Amino acid sequence: MKTKSYEIDMTTGPLPRKMLAYTLPFMATGALQLLFNMADLVVVGRFDGQQALAAVGSTSSLINLLVNLFMGLSVGVSVLIAQYFGAGQHKDVSDTVHTAVAVAVLTGLFLAAFGALAAPTLLRWMGSPPDVINLAALYLRIYFAGAPVLLLFNFCAAVLRSVGDTRRPLFYLALSGAVNVVLNLILVIVFHLGVAGVAIATVASEALSSLLLLRCLHRSATSYNFSFALLKIHGGKLKRMIRIGLPAGVQGSLFSISNVLIQSCINTFGSVVMAANAAAASIEGFTYVSMNAFSQTALAFTGQNVGAGKPHNLKVILRWSCLFVTFFGILLGGLTCLLHRPLLHIFSADETVIASGATRLYYICLPYFILGLSDVLVGMMRGMGYSFVPMIISIGGICGLRVFFVFVLFPLYPVLASVYLSYGASWLVTAAIQAVCLLVLLHRFIQSSRSFAERNAV
């Protein structure tokens, strides 16, 4: 079958080259999304002070806690459309697209209301210092007002990526990212809106990228075309979306709970360490999005090959995904540590902030490739339709170990190192268990002679 110019045939030809062609725009898109938050941090840190930097930076774990549960459903969208598209089931692709758009808007509205009402209480539970909490609450309320467009962008991008199109989400995000930076500078420097200004700029840029993606789907002459006249939640597709995506969302939210606990420990060191941690987390995020891009590549390629009835390609996908993610993880993690000083100086000229931020980068960025391997394994299991198993493994391995570090190790050794060590240790244990589990599931899956349609018959 001849693919459209923006699509990638994930089931035939030289898969490693196609995987890179798919992944690199995805990596760039993730980097641009991080620039949204980095632009916020840089502008408020440079033009509105250390407290504003700490306020915006300390909200990331709480934002992830609330957003990830719903964002997990976009994983279900990715898997369903990849499998249906690979199988040539175009009516099912269309029904899934329209269900996804409706779910994105409805869950976004719920999240906007909940986030606005609960933000101050949640920040108090996290132990946010008195000099930070009011600014952080203001940022959260405005940020969550944009939850519908945030989820809409991610769900629509999931649709395009499932058919191999990672370039157009990149184009649209580049444009909206430029708008975000310009608005940040205008609202903070010219209008002196501070934290509120960077939050407004973020929401406005997310709205622009979402509208561009929705317009793209509306104008496409394919099975994943979006029409307002067909907007409807299809119960069967929603159930499958929830079955695959909800475990991913629960896993992401529980990860965020463990990160909220870690943030609570970091908050005990004061606003200087909070600011340093926020700056370092933004920098290391560029390594993470690269790791995550290979996970999403493994998911999409696995899903399409499962749908096309080509399970023999799964071992090729696994091998090259692990090689790619290890190479990029070691390269980017090493470069981040090597260049930590000029990178941290972007956020703050304070030497204590730079020194504290360097501590986090060394402990977390060097072993980041282990997290990449773990995410690739999870991506393949989800692409095969197994979402509950990796959730249980990840919750036990990553969340369980981090809770142990926070409640047992940190009280005994109340230093930053004992907090940051929890990351690498939890990644290593979890990746080892997931590797064994995937090999068992992969062997069982390949041995099965049933077609995709038979496996998913209602």
How far apart CA 12 and CA 222 sit, in angstroms, is 20
For 179-316, strand residue ranges (E) read none
**For residues 331-345, average pLDDT:** 90
Q: Are 123 and 133 in contact (CB under 8 A)?
A: yes
Q: Residue 454 — pLDDT band, cuts 50, 70, 90?
A: low
Q: Which residue has the tokens 């580049």?
A: 174
Q: Which residue has the higher pLDDT, 401 or 2?
A: 401
What integer pLDDT is reported at residue 455 of this predicted model?
55
pLDDT score at 266: 83
> Average pLDDT of 50-61?
77
Beta strand residue intervals within 18-146, DSSP E: none
Structure tokens at 193: 């809106």
| Over residues 323-339, mean pLDDT | 93
- Give the domain ranges of the chain: 15-451
458 confidence band (pLDDT: 50, 70, 90): very low
Tokens linked to 142: 């405005």
The stretch 284-298 carries a mean pLDDT of 89
The whole-number pLDDT of residue 1 equals: 40
Q: How confident is the model at residue 4 (pLDDT cuts 50, 70, 90)?
A: low
- Quick: pLDDT tens for 144-161: 999 999 999 999 999 999
* pLDDT the model gives residue 51: 80
State how far the Cα of 173 lies from the Cα of 35, in Å rounded to an integer: 10
Whether the per-residue pLDDT at 93 is higher than 70: the answer is yes
User: How far is C-alpha 378 from the chain's CA centre?
Assistant: 14
Is residue 395 a contact partner of residue 252, using CB atoms and an 8 Å limit? Answer: no
Write out pLDDT tens, residues 244-260. 988 888 887 777 777 77
| Res 3 pLDDT > 70 | no
Average pLDDT over the chain, rounded to an integer:
87
Highest mean pLDDT: which range of 249-253, 279-283, 432-436: 432-436
Q: How far apart are CA 370 and CA 335, in angstroms?
A: 16
**In angstroms, what CA-CA distances link 118 with 66, 115, 228, 262?**
11, 5, 33, 20
CA gap 267, 261 in Å, rounded? 10
**Stretch (H or E) spanning 363:** helix 351-365
Q: What confidence score (pLDDT) does residue 243 get?
A: 92
Question: What is the percent of the chain where pLDDT is above 90?
Answer: 44
pLDDT of residue 239: 94
Q: Give the confidence band of 450 by pLDDT, cuts at 50, 70, 90.
A: low
Q: What angle do CA 293, 212, 304 make, to 5 degrees?
A: 40
Dihedral (CA of 123, 128, 129, 132) sign = negative
Task: Report the pLDDT value the prediction gives residue 81, as an integer from 0 to 100.
Answer: 95
Give the per-residue SS3 of 49-72: CHHHHHHHHCCHHHHHHHHHHHHH
Largest CA distance in the chain: 65
> What pTM value is reported for the model?
0.82
